[in-house]
């Protein structure tokens, strides 16, 4: 039987899987005809039945009873991974939840291959957790354990920006010195690497890879910053209460701005405290909306409209953000300028991580021939502007933003397991 291998890109926002079959490298359709799927799960309350990807998000948005989960990758290496979570009254471990999501991908890859695939290269960020080598090692070990639960016998890992480079390499004649910027939902990772289509079948690429750096900043952080700047003020963020004009507690707003923390807010204690603060609020109409969000458990809808606004501002200078799930006819105008201002510090940190990669590689900006932009966050206009500013003379490649990592991991699996 032909030895087929695969590459899995388990992303914070989107995921993909690609098969390598005797030189035939192809992405697997994982949701309808799409080769990428949102990294989302929805557990229907009745029977705790899991749904995946767009179907999961649609179940939630149509107010089906149950629990939506996103940004699962961000729990790897953290204490939350071991704690698990309550899903519709049932305690679940995160390794089981992640394995369920990835099993859905593997079943489709196995079906395309016509056999059970036992060899995999899993993508990983340069840093799962910033400045914590122990947590990074733990996160990779946890991901390996999940792969074993799926039935993989041979498991290897590759940095996601290196995988993206491999996917682009097939089209490169001669040799080019490239910087790969992989900006996903949870991390931004960088690699300086020598690329050529002559190197595709090289088993050892260590001599071509000059440096890797990364920072735990991604599109989810952009969502959070945009939410706090333009969305949360509509539900009382930074309003005041009481005779001393104190600022309302901000922690709940921060948690409402993160996919992984929203579900922790729907407790009797938090709702009771919020109801008490409403009596003393100086902006009752807006603060009452916070209470309504908590009581009706619509925090994910807030995150969804924030993400919708971010995407709209990719092509438009402003967007009328709807809050109709809170109040009929309620909306607010959000501008590209507001968005750029909200994420400016994150852009600066991403830029610094890219420059750190150049320093570790011992090359100057002028030495870079090609900048490969991959990951959905590279579509943000201010991100593209920053890389064009940093590398004015380099060629920019940004095709297959959401699927190049998965494709590159399959190329890598072919070299490692053939």
What superfamily does domain 5-174+398-417 belong to in CATH? ATPase, nucleotide binding domain (3.30.420.40)
* CA dist 258 → 1, 84, 185, 245 (Å): 46, 17, 12, 28
Identify whether the C-beta of residue 123 lies closer than 8 Å to the C-beta of residue 409.
yes
Residues 272-288: pLDDT tens digits? 999 999 999 999 999 99
Query: Is residue 138 helix, strand or coil?
Result: helix
pLDDT tens digits for 24-61?
999 999 999 999 999 999 999 988 999 999 999 999 88
The model carries a pTM of 0.89
DSSP state of 395: E
pLDDT tens sequence across 347-405: 999 999 999 999 999 999 999 999 999 999 999 999 999 999 999 999 998 887 888 99
Q: Distance between CA atoms of 64 and 108, rounded to whole angstroms?
A: 26
Which residues does 191 contact at the CB level (< 8 Å), separation at least 6?
159, 161, 162, 165, 179, 180, 182, 209, 211, 212, 357
At 90, which helix (H) or strand (E)?
strand 90-92
Comparing CA positions, the residue from 79, 101, 69, 72 lying closest to residue 262 is 69
User: What pLDDT, on a 0 to 100 scale, did the predictor assign at position 84?
Assistant: 87
Q: Is the pLDDT of residue 173 over 60?
A: yes
Write down the pLDDT at residue 59. Answer: 92
pLDDT in tens, 325-353: 999 999 999 999 999 999 999 999 999 99
* C-beta atoms surrounding 155 within 10 Å: 18
Q: Which residues of the chain form CATH 3.30.420.40? A: 5-174+398-417
- State the pLDDT at residue 202: 78
Work out the mean pLDDT of the chain and round it to a whole number: 93
| % of the chain exceeding 70 in pLDDT | 100
Q: What's the pLDDT tens digit per position in 122-136? A: 999 998 988 889 999
Q: What angle do CA 287, 290, 294 make, to 5 degrees?
A: 150
């Amino acid at each position: 039987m032909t030895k087929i291998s695969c590459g899995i890109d388990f992303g914070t926002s989107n995921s993909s899987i690609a098969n390598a079959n005797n030189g035939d490298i192809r992405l697997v359709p994982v949701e309808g005809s799409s080769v990428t799927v949102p990294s989302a799960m929805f557990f229907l309350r009745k029977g705790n039945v899991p749904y995946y990807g767009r179907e999961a998000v649609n179940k939630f948005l149509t107010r089906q009873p149950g629990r939506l989960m996103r940004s699962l990758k961000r729990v790897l290496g953290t204490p939350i991974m071991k704690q698990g979570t309550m899903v519709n009254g049932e305690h679940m471990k995160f390794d089981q939840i992640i394995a369920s999501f990835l099993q859905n991908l593997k079943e489709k890859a196995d079906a395309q291959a016509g056999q059970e695939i036992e060899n995999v290269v899993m993508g990983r960020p340069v840093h799962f957790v910033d400045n914590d080598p122990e947590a990074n090692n733990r996160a990779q070990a946890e991901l390996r354990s999940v792969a074993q639960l799926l039935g993989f016998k041979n498991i290897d890992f590759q940095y996601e920006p290196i995988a993206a480079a491999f996917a682009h390499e097939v089209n490169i004649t001669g040799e080019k010195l490239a910087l790969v910027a992989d900006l996903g939902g949870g991390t931004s990772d960088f690699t300086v690497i020598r690329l050529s289509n002559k190197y595709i079948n090289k088993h050892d690429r260590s001599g071509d890879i000059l440096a890797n750096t990364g920072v735990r900043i991604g599109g989810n952080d952009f969502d959070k910053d945009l939410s706090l700047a333009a969305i949360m003020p509509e539900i009382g963020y930074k309003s005041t209460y009481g005779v001393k004009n104190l600022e309302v507690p901000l922690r709940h707003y921060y948690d409402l701005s993160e996919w992984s923390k929203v579900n922790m807010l729907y407790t009797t204690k938090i709702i009771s405290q919020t109801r008490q603060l409403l009596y003393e609020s100086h902006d009752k109409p807006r603060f009452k909306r916070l209470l309504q969000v908590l009581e009706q458990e619509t925090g994910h809808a807030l995150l969804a409209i924030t993400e919708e606004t971010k995407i709209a501002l990719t092509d438009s200078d402003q967007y009328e953000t709807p809050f109709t799930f809170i109040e009929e006819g309620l909306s607010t105008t959000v501008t590209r300028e507001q968005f750029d201002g909200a994420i400016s510090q994150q852009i600066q940190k991403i830029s610094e991580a890219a420059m750190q990669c150049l320093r570790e590689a011992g090359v100057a900006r002028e030495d870079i021939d090609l900048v490969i932009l991959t990951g959905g966050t590279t579509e943000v206009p201010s991100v593209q502007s920053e890389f064009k500013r940093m590398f004015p003379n380099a060629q920019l490649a940004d095709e297959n933003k959401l699927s190049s990592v998965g494709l590159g991991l399959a190329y890598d699996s072919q070299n490692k397991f053939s």
